[in-house]
Amino acid sequence: MNEHKKIHLKDYRPFEFIVDHVDLVFDIRDDHTRVTSKLKMKKDPARANETTPLVLNKGTFDIISVVAGDMVLLPGEYKSDDEIFSLVATPDIFELEITNILKPDENTALEGLYRSGSILCTQCEAQGFRNITPYPDRPDVMAPFSCTIVADKTRYPVLLSNGNLVKSGDLDNNRHFAVWEDPFKKPCYLFALVAGDLDVLEDRFTTASGRDVALKIYSEKENIDRCSHAMTSLKQAMAWDEKRFGREYDLDLYQIVAINDFNAGAMENKGLNIFNAKYVLADPQTATDDDFMGIQGVIAHEYFHNWTGNRITLKNWFQLSLKEGLTVFRDQEFSSDMNSRPVQRISDVKKLMAAQFPEDSGPMVHPVRPDAYIKMDNFYTMTVYEKGAEVIRMIYQLLGQALFRTGMDLYFEKFDGMAVTLEDFVGVMAKVSGRNLDQFFRWYTQSGTPAVSMTRQYDENTKSMSLTFTQATSPDRNQSEKKPFHIPVRIALINRAGETVKQDALYELTQETDTFKFENVPADIYPSVFREFTAPVRLTTDFSDQDLAFLMARDTDPFNQWHAAQTLFVNEIKNLVTAIQAGNPMAVSAGLVNAFSLALEENQKDRAFLSRALALPQETEIKDHFEIIDVEAIHQARTFLKQTLAQKLTSEFKTVYELCRSANSDDISGGAMADRSLKNLCLSYLGSLANNDVQDIVQKQFEHAGNMTDEFAAFKILSHMNADVRDKACPAFYDKWQARTLVIDKWFSVQAQSSLEDTLDQVKKLTTHKDFTMANPNKVRALIFAFAMNNPMHFHRVDGQGYEFTAERILMLDKINPQTAARLCSCFNLWKRYDENRQAMMKKQLETMAEQKELSRNLYEIVSRALE
Footprint of ligand TYR on this chain (CB under 6 A)?
Answer: 123, 125, 263-264, 266-268, 301-302, 324, 380
Binning the chain into helix, strand and coil, the percentages to the nearest 5 are: 45, 20, 30
Identity of the residue, 125 or 514, whose beta carbon is nearer to ligand TYR in the bound complex = 125
* Contact of 270 with 250, CB cutoff 8 Å: no
CB of 123 to ligand TYR, least distance (A): 5
How far is the CA of 762 from the CAs of 33, 212, 346, 401, 740, in angstroms? Answer: 41, 53, 34, 52, 21
Number of helices followed by number of strands (H, E) in the chain: 30, 31
CB of 386 to ligand TYR, least distance (A): 11
Give residue 547's region: left, alpha or beta (phi > 0; psi -120 to 50): alpha
3-class state of residue 835 by DSSP? coil
Identity of the residue, 78 or 385, whose beta carbon is nearer to ligand TYR in the bound complex = 385
How many other C-beta atoms lie within 10 A of the C-beta of residue 139? 23
Considering only CA atoms, which of 742, 716, 739 is closest in space to residue 729? 716
Q: Which of 220, 302, 359, 621 is catalytic?
A: 302
Instruction: Compute the half-sphere exposure of residue 675: CA atoms within 13 Å on the CB side of its CA.
Output: 14
CB of 383 to ligand TYR, least distance (A): 14
Cis peptide before 126 (omega within 30 of 0): yes
Considering only CA atoms, which of 741, 689, 736, 679 is closest in space to residue 713? 679
CB of 268 to ligand TYR, least distance (A): 5
Tell me how far apart the alpha carbons of residues 82 and 346 are, in angstroms, rounded to a whole number: 47
Identity of the residue, 110 or 437, whose beta carbon is nearer to ligand TYR in the bound complex = 110
Please name the residues in contact with 303: beta carbons below 8 A apart, sequence gap of 6 or more: 234, 237, 238, 241, 254, 268, 273
CB of 309 to ligand TYR, least distance (A): 7
Identity of the residue, 380 or 518, whose beta carbon is nearer to ligand TYR in the bound complex = 380
Please name the residues in contact with 786: beta carbons below 8 A apart, sequence gap of 6 or more: 748, 749, 752, 753
Identity of the residue, 802 or 818, whose beta carbon is nearer to ligand TYR in the bound complex = 818
CB of 279 to ligand TYR, least distance (A): 10
Q: Specify whether 302 is catalytic.
A: yes
Identity of the residue, 301 or 779, whose beta carbon is nearer to ligand TYR in the bound complex = 301
Identity of the residue, 32 or 857, whose beta carbon is nearer to ligand TYR in the bound complex = 857
Tell me how far apart the alpha carbons of residues 433 and 773 are, in angstroms, rounded to a whole number: 53
CB of 324 to ligand TYR, least distance (A): 6
Identity of the residue, 104 or 484, whose beta carbon is nearer to ligand TYR in the bound complex = 104
CB of 810 to ligand TYR, least distance (A): 19
Considering only CA atoms, which of 102, 128, 133, 106 is closest in space to residue 269? 128
**DSSP characters for 68-121?**
ETTEEEPGGGSEE-SSEEEES---SEEEEEEEEEE-GGG--S-SEEEEETTEEE
Identity of the residue, 66 or 391, whose beta carbon is nearer to ligand TYR in the bound complex = 391
* Contact of 586 with 580, CB cutoff 8 Å: yes
CB of 111 to ligand TYR, least distance (A): 7
CB of 853 to ligand TYR, least distance (A): 26
Instruction: Spell out the SS3 assignment of 643-707.
Output: HHHHHHCHHHHHHHHHHHHHCCCCCCCHHHHHHHHHHHHHHHHHHCCCCHHHHHHHHHHHHHCCC
Neighbouring-strand partners of residue 51: none
Identity of the residue, 259 or 750, whose beta carbon is nearer to ligand TYR in the bound complex = 259
How far is the CA of 599 from the CAs of 431, 496, 565, 656, 669, in angstroms? Answer: 46, 17, 10, 12, 24
How far is the CA of 558 from the CAs of 18, 212, 335, 445, 670, in angstroms? Answer: 53, 41, 17, 32, 17
The beta strands (E) that lie in 519-616 are given as 526-529, 538-541
CB of 131 to ligand TYR, least distance (A): 12
Residue nearest to ligand TYR (CB): 264
Identity of the residue, 266 or 846, whose beta carbon is nearer to ligand TYR in the bound complex = 266
Tell me how far apart the alpha carbons of residues 861 and 373 are, in angstroms, rounded to a whole number: 8
Instruction: Spell out the SS3 assignment of 461-493.
Output: CCCEEEEEEEEECCCCCCCCCCCCCCEEEEEEE
Considering only CA atoms, which of 116, 112, 135, 107 is closest in space to residue 124? 112
Please name the residues in contact with 711: beta carbons below 8 A apart, sequence gap of 6 or more: 701, 702, 705, 733
Enumerate the active-site residues.
Answer: 302
